[in-house]
């Protein structure tokens, strides 16, 4: 899957959880959603893209969440 699509999807997830009043819990929920529902290939592709190109395209909540989402492999 292309990085642009993964970034868009991650930011959409972040936008959903952004409305939660507890930001710390929202970050955890974004991370949990990505960990639970994304295939390892998707998580790895996003991590690889961020490692190579930076995380400027990601919303702040997604940036924070990705710090706790494990890269597989």
73 in any annotated domain: no
61 in any annotated domain: yes
Please check whether residue 13 is in contact with residue 30, taking contact to mean a CB–CB distance below 8 angstroms: yes
15 in any annotated domain: yes
31 in any annotated domain: yes
71 in any annotated domain: no
Per residue in 21-49, pLDDT (tens digit) is 999 999 999 999 999 999 999 999 999 99
72 in any annotated domain: no
Residue 71: CB partners within 8 Å, gap ≥ 6?
43, 44, 47
* Torsion 50-44-9-15 (CA) sign: negative
58 in any annotated domain: yes
Count of domains forming the chain:
1
Range of the domain at 61: 3-66
* pTM of this prediction exceeds 0.75: yes
């Amino acid at each position: 899957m292309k990085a642009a699509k993964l970034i868009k999807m991650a930011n959409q997830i972040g936008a959903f959880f952004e409305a939660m009043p507890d930001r710390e819990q929202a970050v955890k929920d974004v991370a949990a959603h990505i960990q639970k529902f994304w295939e390892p290939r998707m998580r790895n592709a996003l991590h690889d893209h961020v490692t190579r190109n930076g995380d400027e395209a990601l919303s702040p909540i997604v940036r924070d969440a990705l710090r706790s989402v494990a890269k597989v492999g």
